[in-house]
Amino acid sequence: MIVINKAAFMKSSANLSQCPTGDLPEFAFIGRSNVGKSSLINMLTGNSRLAQTSMTPGKTCLINHFLINDEWYLVDLPGYGYAKRSKATQQRFKHMIQGYISGRDNMCNLFVLIDGNLSPQQIDLDFIQWLGENSVPFTLVFTKSDKSRKGSFPKSVNKILDTLKDTWEELPPHYTVSSTKRLGREALLSHLEEILSNYRQADL
């Protein structure tokens, strides 16, 4: 498991061209607004003030880079699917997100966060389908496992995975977490370490 000794905010970017020089590997986090991206980044790094969190959906409006151990980046991407944004703003965010994902060669993996307490959401399914069609490496992270009532969380997660099986021959890697209770942290960091090791070996 990766040990994170140092984590620092580097910069916010409005588009791909403004992002830091792509000479370090990076892992990006994305999901619907208010799914817990910033909270997960804070939980993984052990710094509750690193990424800005908010109870108001749609607060992350830029591509935020955080330098980890002076060796690689965690990236907090804007959330998708926030209905209160204007159509023009939604299109701008879509262009920003897709531009980053498609054009950022040093992105090792995209972590797609999904609220595991909800039934399958079409916007999540469509986004996952787009990732597959564009050969983007990604991992599913089911958040808010501590919010489950009477065992509903695993049932909801299994329903989402069963829905994906209709179109996917093999399911992508998937994990469950709770940022509040720090559940799933070690497993996710071990997964990240494996991806990082493979990326570095391929780069030799």
> Can you give the CATH number for the domain in which 141 is found?
3.40.50.300
Q: How many domains does the chain have?
A: 1
Structure confidence at residue 165 as a pLDDT band (50, 70, 90): very high
Instruction: Name the residue type at position 80.
Output: Y
Structure confidence at residue 84 as a pLDDT band (50, 70, 90): low
Predicted TM-score (pTM) above 0.75: yes
**In degrees, to the nearest 5, what angle opens at C-alpha 39 toward C-alphas 34 and 44?**
145
In a domain, 54, yes or no: yes
| Residue 122 domain boundaries | 7-202
**H helix runs in the chain, sequence order:** 37-45, 87-103, 122-133, 152-164, 185-202
pLDDT attached to residue 94: 85
pLDDT attached to residue 142: 96
In a domain, 1, yes or no: no
Task: Say how far apart CA 128 and CA 137 lie, in whole Å.
Answer: 11
Q: For all residues of the chain together, what is the average pLDDT?
A: 90
Tokens (6 digits) for 94: 């879509």
Task: Say how far apart CA 144 and CA 179 lie, in whole Å.
Answer: 7
Answer whether residue 54 shows pLDDT above 60. Answer: no
pLDDT attached to residue 204: 66
Of 127-141, 147-161, 168-182, 189-203, give the lowest mean pLDDT range: 147-161
In a domain, 2, yes or no: no
Structure confidence at residue 63 as a pLDDT band (50, 70, 90): very high
